[in-house]
Amino acid sequence: MNPFVLLLTALLILASSDLAAETDAPLPRFAALRSAEVNLRAGPGRQYPVEWVFLRRSLPIEITAEYGNWRKLRDVDGSEGWVHKSLLTNRRSILVTGAVRLLRNDPDETSAVVAKLEPGVVAVLLSCRGGWCRIGTDGLKGWLPQADFWGAYDDETVE
C-alpha cells in the first residue's frame, strides 16, 4: 500500500478518535477558569492567535463546543473563543451581575441579609434549587436568586 495513503488513513483515525474522546457531558454547560491567566484563541489549537486574555481565576464560563482537548467558551459578555481543557475546572462559580445583590441566610426574599455583593464578585456555586442558589465567598455562605448572577441556567438544579 502507498505510504502516503497509510499516513493519511492514520491521521483520519487519530482525528476521529479525538472527536470520540470528547466528553459525554451536555452542551452548553458552565465551568470555571482554573488559572489566573487564560488565553482565549481564535480556534482549537495553539497555532491560532490569542484574541483575548482572561485575568481572573474561577471566572465562570460557558462551554458551547468541544474539539479534542479544546473547549469553545462564551463569557458573560458574549465573547467566544477556544481554550485548552487543562485551563478549566468543573468546579462551578458565579459572577454577580447588575446591581448590588443581597446574599440571604435562606432561599427566601424575607430571609435575613448575610452580605451585600457588588457586581463583579466571583463566588463558588454550592447548590441550586427552586430558582435560588447557595454560594460561598470570602468565608460567607448564603442564597441568591438565580436572576442575580451569571453562571447557572434558569431553574437549574445543582447538587
Please report the pLDDT score of residue 26 as a whole number: 92
Q: How do residues 91-104 score in pLDDT, each as one tens digit?
A: 999 999 999 999 99
Same-domain status, 40 and 82: yes
Q: Is 157 contained in some domain?
A: no
Domain boundary (91, 111, 135) is at 91
Handedness of CA 127, 99, 141, 57 (dihedral sign): positive
Q: Is 11 contained in some domain?
A: no
Q: How do residues 123-135 score in pLDDT, each as one tens digit?
A: 999 999 999 999 9
Q: Average pLDDT of 64-90? A: 97
Q: Is 63 contained in some domain?
A: yes
Q: Domain holding 143: CATH number?
A: 2.30.30.40
Same-domain status, 110 and 66: no
Is the CB of residue 93 less than 8 Å from the CB of residue 124? yes
Q: Is 59 contained in some domain?
A: yes
Same-domain status, 76 and 107: no
Q: Alpha-carbon distance 64 to 27, whole Å? A: 6
Q: What is the pTM of this model?
A: 0.83
Q: Where are the beta strands (DSSP E) in 5-146?
A: 29-33, 38-41, 50-54, 60-67, 70-74, 80-84, 88-89, 93-96, 101-104, 113-117, 122-129, 132-137, 140-145
Is the pLDDT at 8 greater than 90, yes or no?
no
pLDDT band at 18 (very low <50, low <70, confident <90, very high): very low
